[in-house]
Amino acid sequence: MTRNLAFVILIFGLGFACQRSAAPPEMVKSPNGQLAVEVFLTPGTQQAAYRVLFRNEVVIDTSRLGFVFQDQAKLAGGLKVEQAIQSSIRETWEPVWGEDAQVANNYEELKVDFKETMGLERQFSVAFRVYDDGLGFRYEFPAQPNLDSVIILDENTEFSLTGDHQTWWQPGDWDIYEHLYNATRFSEIDAISKRNHPNLAQTYIPENAVNTPVTMKTDAGLYLSFHEAALYNYSDMTLKVDKDHLRWVSELVGSPDSSKVKIRTPFHTPWRTIQVAERAGDLIESHLIVNLNEPNKLENTEWIKPMKYAGIWWSMHLGQYTWEMSSGRHGATTEHAKNYIDFCAANNIKGLLVEGWNTGWEHWIGFEDREGVFDFVTPYPDYDLAEVVRYGKEKGVAIIMHHETSSAPRTYEKQLDTAFALCQSLGIHAVKTGYVGPIIPKNEYHHGQWMVNHYQKVLETAARYQVAVDAHEPIKDTGIRRTWPNFLSREGLRGQEFNAWANDGGNPPNHLPTIAFTRMLAGPIDYTPGIFDIKFDQYKPDNQVNTTLAQQLALYVVIYSPVQMAADLPENYANQPGMQFIRDVAVDWQQSKVLDGEIGDFVTIARQEKGGDRWFIGSITNENPRKIDLAFDFLPAGRKYLARIYADGPNAHWDNNPLDLVISEQVVDRSTTMPVQLAAGGGVAISLTPQ
């Protein structure tokens, strides 16, 4: 990857600014004029407020903005508008890796400066950036005499709805996003603590709040999704359900002393985002979240490599091997690692994750005193780290380092330089991190400001040692991959691992068709697809994957990540015709198109590989079988492609017959329409090679 690609390339930029006299409401429209935001003071109370219109219809009604600070009057009404400035940006930038090689960043900005007319005369601005596919707004607090060190007790940002929309939501857990999504009307949201994570019973879930992204559909068929962008030095925003007024109100994640954020002026909040789409698939194609982030800060990015990887991993989740050595069934041995490297080399898989390689796993989960357990540099005696890395290099397979912190971030922070220096000395350029268990110290939460800063410190330290990060039990993605492209991927959802051990039946067939329109709007997902031994009765007769084999293949295209695992045991891929798709499928993309989909039902995505002519298609369905008609009109004119189709067989079914896979070939061009039958819990994966 050339250095140039690492940089934002401004293809053309138009900037102008004009100052307006303070005559609210101020209004700003998206470049195509369809989405509009009005900013004004509420009559009487003079509180800052906004409204959003799409095609002249209100989609977010009058919503107030304000804060509650400790030891200060709350910041709400009594304001005047000092000035409003509009500006306009049209540019295209090139991410280091991503769903599309070029990203258009076109928006109109309106920044309104507010000031209290009496008392402390505090000042702040709200900047709105309005795109064709949604908007973001953030608070900006300048340095000022009466607002210096601030303790935020509440941010009261409202999002007033125009109806009781259908909502795809998960509880607003402060510690983990590993929950199933629920589909209910807004007024029926019932996000109480009854759905605690099976392994992390202590997670904190406030009543009636949801995590973002949360996605909605109005009765008129408009799609809305609420999230945030560029979360730094602040707490994760959950959304409280105000049923009486049919609105969301921001609820920041807390800390041991019940404050939400401690910060000094000048500061600004993350962007509060609202995606607006007429087609469900447009939610996925949107670049709103990354666009609201700053350009790439890393000068040299050649070491950041999208790739497929395998792992000494699933075998531990199945109970075949263990992370700890004392069991006598240690997974991370030199010998196993070499076998896996041979498997990777034979199957066009460029990375190998090895978990359980370092000492400490005898004392990691379920113990109170986890501080100091892992040191991230000491291998178990049966694992020769240097030799494994050497063997991998010889075979063209990079080792992915593993840092399970057991949620003792202070221990990890003390070790960061040592740990990443070890990676650098071995030529290791990727790490998977983990944060299982409640955070030490008690009452810090995974999603609070303190941990947001920790995750960022890890990311920035890793970058200094040329290491890319794939975080499990992470803070949610808010598009910072644009600025820090070494943040490759994250978990932050119920991943494949739940199918190995969850006692609630695992991830149901509607999980991933929902994830594509909710969690995936935040950013890349390390779901770890590719389980071929769907029932794994030999290891866990009571658990299974709840999809067909064809769907497992389709996930490499549908669920976006620049690192994609071939998660199953090597022996389960032996002599499997479906393995050819995993060998072939790309991980970095020139362009991505969502051909069709409905939230929770099905989704079909086509992606063209970056720097090549091949296309890949993935389609997945929930528990309902369905026929789709694939139109190939996205292909360039005048070219023919050989389509290799990995489809559900006539008798396929996620539970009764998941392995029924039929592979066929057909020549297609842009005029082709191909009917495909997806089984219950099934899917289809297609590779298209130019002829």
* 334: DSSP letter: H
Give pairs for 369-374: CB < 8 Å, separation 24+: 370/406, 370/407, 370/408, 370/411, 370/437, 370/440, 371/408, 371/410, 371/411, 371/440, 372/408, 372/411, 373/406, 373/408, 373/411, 374/403, 374/404, 374/405, 374/406, 374/408, 374/411, 374/412, 374/415
CA distance 360 to 369: 12
Count Cβ atoms below 10 Å from residue 348 Cβ, excluding itself: 15
Instruction: Look at residue 515 and give its three-state secondary structure.
Output: helix
- Nearest CA to 376 among 461, 450, 476? 461
Reply yes or no on whether 497 is catalytic.
Answer: yes
Choose the contact partner of 404 out of ligand NOJ, Ca ion, none; CB within 5 to 8 A by kind: ligand NOJ
**For ligand NOJ, the closer CB: 75 or 312:** 312
Instruction: Report the residue number, 316 or 679, with the smaller CB distance to ligand NOJ.
Output: 316
Q: How far is the CB of 307 from Ca ion (least distance, A)?
A: 21
- Nearest distance, CB of residue 180 and ligand NOJ, angstroms: 16
According to CB under 6 A, which residues from 280 to 319 bind ligand NOJ? 313
What is the smallest separation between the CB atom of 369 and ligand NOJ, expressed in angstroms?
Answer: 18
Active site residue: 497, 571, 609, 665, which one?
A: 497
CB of 312 to ligand NOJ, least distance (A): 10
Determine contact, residues 584/660, Cβ cutoff 8 Å: no
Helix (H) or strand (E) segment spanning residue 388: helix 385-395
Nearer to ligand NOJ, 99 or 473 (CB): 473
Of 491 and 533, CB closest to ligand NOJ: 491
Contacts (CB under 6 A) with ligand NOJ, residues 371-410: 404
Residues in 411-450 at the binding interface with ligand NOJ, rule: CB under 6 A: 434, 436
348-367 positions binding ligand NOJ, by CB under 6 A: 355
Residue 613 vs residues 42, 640, 641, 667: alpha-carbon distances, Å: 55, 11, 10, 15
CA terminus-to-terminus distance, the chain: 27
**Whose CA is closest to 468, among 144, 131, 96?**
96
Q: How far is the CB of 497 from ligand NOJ (least distance, A)?
A: 5
Task: Give 101 or 436: the residue with its C-beta nearer to ligand NOJ.
Answer: 436
Cis peptide before 213 (omega within 30 of 0): yes
Smaller CB distance to ligand NOJ: residue 134 or 570? Answer: 570
String of contacts with Ca ion for each residue 415-454, x by CB under 5 A: ----------------------------------------
CA–CA gap between residue 610 and residue 64 (Å, rounded): 44
Half-sphere exposure of 473 (CA within 13 A, CB side): 25
* Token pair for 120: 């402390």
* Cβ at position 557, least distance to ligand NOJ in Å: 22
Q: Please calculate the CA angle 597-601-606 and round it to the nearest 5 degrees.
A: 35
Least gap, CB of 176 to Ca ion (angstroms): 8
Alpha-carbon distance values, 317 to 48, 472, 567 (Å): 51, 15, 11
Q: Taking CB under 6 A as the rule, does residue 502 contact ligand NOJ?
A: no
Site for ligand NOJ in 481-500 (CB under 6 A): 491, 497
Please, which of residues 454-473 interact with ligand NOJ by CB under 6 A? 472
Q: Which is nearer to ligand NOJ, 154 or 497 (CB)?
A: 497
Write each residue from 461 to 500 as x if it is in contact with Ca ion (CB under 5 A), else as -, in one continuous string. -----------x----------------------------
- Residue 355: name its binding partner from ligand NOJ, Ca ion, none (Cβ under 5 to 8 Å by kind): ligand NOJ
Phi, psi of 540 (to 5 degrees): -140, 80
Q: Minimal distance in Å, beta carbon 192 to ligand NOJ?
A: 25
CA 188, distance to chain mean position in Å, is: 26
Query: Are 408 and 373 in contact, with CB atoms under 8 Å apart?
Result: yes
Nearer to Ca ion, 139 or 177 (CB): 177
Binding region for ligand NOJ (CB under 6 A): 313, 355, 404, 434, 436, 472, 491, 497
- The set of catalytic residues is 497
Binding region for Ca ion (CB under 5 A): 472
